[in-house]
Amino acid sequence: MFDIFALVNHTGAVKDPKKSPHLFHIPVMGTGFSIDTPLKVAKYGISSVVSLVDDVLIEQMRQFHCKRLGLPYVAIPDSNEDARANRITAYLELLGEVVCGQVKALQSSPFEPGSEITRYFEMLPDAPLKRSYQNMLTVSNPAAKTKLQNALRSQAVPGSIDVNIMTKLDRDIYYGGKKLPPESADAMAALRGYARSNLQSSIVFSAGINRRLYSYLAKFDDFLPDHHGMLRKRIVLKVSDFRSAIVQGRYLAKRGLWVSEFRIESGLNCGGHAFPTEGHLLGPILDEFRRQRTELINDHHEVYNRALAAIGRPQIQAPHQVRVTVQGGIGTADENSFLLGHLQVDGTGWGTPFLLVPEVTNVDDVHLGKLSSADKNDVYLSDRSPLGVPFWILRNCGSEEFHQERIDTGKPGSMCPKGYLAADTEFNDVPICRASRLYQLRKLRQLSGTIQSAEQLNTMREKVLVKSCICHDVGGGVALKLGIDPKASPAVCSGPNIAHFSKVASLDEMVSHIYGRLSILNNSDRPHMFINELTIYVDYLRREAQKTSEELADKTVKCFKEFKRNLVTGIDYYRTLAQQFSEEQRERFLSELDTLFSELEDVLPASSTVVPA
Note the pLDDT tens digit of each residue in 516-555.
999 999 987 899 999 999 999 999 999 998 886 544 566 6
Task: Give the per-residue pLDDT at 613.
Answer: 41
Whether the predicted pLDDT of 462 surpasses 80: yes
Return d(Cα 66, Cα 63) in angstroms, integer.
Answer: 5
Dihedral angle sign, alpha carbons of residues 104, 105, 111, 114: negative
pLDDT at 547: 80
In this predicted structure, the answer to whether residue 13 has a pLDDT above a threshold of 70 is: no
Question: What is the arithmetic mean of pLDDT over 235-242?
Answer: 97
Q: What is the mean pLDDT of residues 18-36?
A: 94
- Three-point CA angle 461, 463, 467, nearest 5°: 115
Output the pLDDT for position 15.
37
Q: What's the whole-number mean pLDDT along residues 557-586?
A: 95
Rounded-to-5 percentages of helix, strand, coil across the chain: 50, 10, 40
Coil vs helix vs strand at 472: coil
pLDDT-based confidence at 8, cuts 50/70/90? very low
* Rounded CA separation 85/216 (Å): 14
* Mean pLDDT across 591-609: 88
Contact by Cβ (8 Å): 355, 494: yes
Are the CB atoms for 76 and 217 separated by under 8 Å? no
Average pLDDT over residues 181-199: 98
Looking at residue 552, what is its pLDDT? 57
pLDDT, tens only, 486-508: 999 999 999 999 999 999 999 99
The radius of gyration of the chain from alpha carbons, rounded to an integer in Å, stands at 25
Confidence of residue 9 (pLDDT cuts 50, 70, 90): very low
Q: How confident is the model at residue 105 (pLDDT cuts 50, 70, 90)?
A: very high
Question: What does pLDDT average to over the chain?
Answer: 94
Residues 559, 563: Cα–Cα separation, whole Å: 6
Could you give the domains of the chain? Answer: 24-353 (3.20.20), 527-613 (no CATH)
Whether pLDDT at 431 is above 90: yes
> pLDDT value at position 554?
64
pLDDT of residue 350: 98
Nearest partner of 43 among 125, 115, 143, 128, judged by Cα:
115
Q: What is the arithmetic mean of pLDDT over 114-126?
A: 98
- Considering the chain, what percentage of its residues have pLDDT values greater than 90? 91
Supply the DSSP string of 473-486, one letter for each residue.
GGGHHHHHHTTS-T
Global pTM value: 0.95
